Structure formats: C-alpha cells, structure tokens
Amino acid sequence: MQGGPDPEVVWQQVVGADADPDAVNGALAGVVGYFLVESLLPAPPNLPTIRTFQRLQGDLGLAWLRQRLRLRA
C-alpha cells in the first residue's frame, strides 16, 4: 500500500520459491476474500479507518492474485 516492491518478487525471494503454487493461490484468495468482505461492514467504534484499510489491502491482494493466475484486471 505504501509503494513497496512487487509482492511476487518478495514472495519468491524470501519464502515461496518451493511452495505449491495452487496452495499459495488458495491461501491468497482466502485472505483477499476476508479483507474485501470485512471492508463492506460498518466500522467499529474507535476504528473509523479500518474498512478503508481492509479495502485497500483486498484490492492489492486481488491484483497480486490476478497476476499469479495470469488474468487481466
């Protein structure tokens, strides 16, 4: 969200080179789904920006998942 490196590059260099791609895609889809669904809920008291944060994280995660699946946005 702050303009860091490409998540796929970091994933491959740090952890994921040997990971099963289908398992990674499944886990990523689950996390992305969580962020996007939660972003639609009303904000809890004292956390007025949490839903915007979750939406941004979900959008970025979805872009990464599309990249991994070789889909176009």
Mean pLDDT, residues 2-9:
85
Confidence of residue 11 (pLDDT cuts 50, 70, 90): confident
Name the one residue in this structure whose structure tokens are 């796929």: 8
pLDDT above 90 as % of the chain: 67
Alpha helices in the chain (DSSP H): 7-14, 21-39, 50-69
CA atoms of 1 and 19, how far apart (whole Å):
24
pTM for the full predicted model: 0.84
Mean pLDDT, residues 49-57:
97
- Return the CA Rg of the chain: 14
Q: Residue 53 CA to chain centroid, in angstroms?
A: 11
